[in-house]
Chains A and B, each alone.
Chain A
Amino acid sequence: SAVISQKPSRDICQRGTSLTIQCQVDSQVTMMFWYRQQPGQSLTLIATANQGSEATYESGFVIDKFPISRPNLTFSTLTVSNMSPEDSSIYLCSVEEGWTGIGNYGYTFGSGTRLTVV
């Protein structure tokens, strides 16, 4: 399965600033996904990033707040802009492991970025 390197692993940021999270995959993948895991809660999909096109955002997430880049098939970044304490979460990137005729294999996740906004 794919191996994902996600950086930084954690950060403490001042409110009003921005943080860019990087996700590097050891193989070429069509779609990369960004999730948010708020304290004590489950994972919520932020957006899907395809190479060469604009990211597709889920309801409640907007490009101005979470701009995403996908310059090639192995790399993506998520920026958390103009941060507030409510943005304190774990952010994870994910890729699909594979696809068969009967469904996908599941997803591989990065180790996450633990963000604290003060």
Chain B
Amino acid sequence: AQSVTQLDSQVPVFEEAPVELRCNYSSSVSVYLFWYVQYPNQGLQLLLKYLSGSTLVKGINGFEAEFNKSQTSFHLRKPSVHISDTAEYFCAVSLTSGTYKYIFGTGTRLKVLA
């Protein structure tokens, strides 16, 4: 079975500072990896995904993530955050074949401070 661990439930950071949101996964088979963002009172929006190829993935809004197979991690980074980045961020995995299901992490609440 697959599982996703987001180590930090909340991350406060000052505006224009860099941020890293951590995500580790467990799986005995290959997976695809995703990061989603949920702004207050909204649905989830896909930030970026890793399917194959380059391990450094760039997404929307200046976010990027790096897939590290040996450490089973897919940490999300942004070099300079804005107040508007305040949201809940979810890491998710899905199998590369067979089922379409997502397994979500518990989420990290990013709070950007002025």
Residues of A within 8 A of B (CB): 4, 6, 9, 31, 41-45, 48, 92, 94, 96-97, 100, 102-112, 114
* CB neighbours of A92 from chain B (8 A): 43-44
Residue of A nearest to B47 (CB): A106
Interface residue B102 (Cβ < 8 Å from any Cβ of A) = yes
Interface positions, chain B 85-114, Cβ under 8 Å from A, are 90, 94, 96, 100-102, 104-107
Given contacts A96-B100, A104-B32, A104-B100, contact A43 B90 (CB under 8 A): yes
Minimum CB–CB distance for B39 against chain A, Å: 10
Interface positions, chain B 45-66, Cβ under 8 Å from A, are 45-46, 49, 51-52
| A-B pairs under 8 A by CB, number | 55
Given contacts A105-B49, A111-B42, A112-B42, contact A42 B106 (CB under 8 A): yes
Q: How far is the CA of A20 from the CA of B77 in the complex (A)?
A: 39
Q: Contact check, B100 vs A31: say whether CB atoms are below 8 A apart.
A: yes
Minimum CB–CB distance for B51 against chain A, Å: 5
Q: How far is the CA of A117 from the CA of B69 in the complex (A)?
A: 43
Q: How far is the CA of A102 from the CA of B96 in the complex (A)?
A: 8
Count how many chain B residues have C-beta atoms less than 8 Å from C-beta atoms of the other chain.
22
Q: Contact check, A103 vs B96: say whether CB atoms are below 8 A apart.
A: yes
Q: Contact check, B46 vs A111: say whether CB atoms are below 8 A apart.
A: no
The 10 closest A-B pairs by CB, nearest first: A109-B43, A109-B44, A111-B43, A42-B104, A106-B46, A103-B51, A42-B106, A43-B104, A110-B43, A103-B32
Interface residue B67 (Cβ < 8 Å from any Cβ of A) = no
Q: How far is the CA of A44 from the CA of B32 in the complex (A)?
A: 18
Q: How far is the CA of A118 from the CA of B36 in the complex (A)?
A: 31
Q: How far is the CA of A111 from the CA of B94 in the complex (A)?
A: 22
Interface residue B71 (Cβ < 8 Å from any Cβ of A) = no
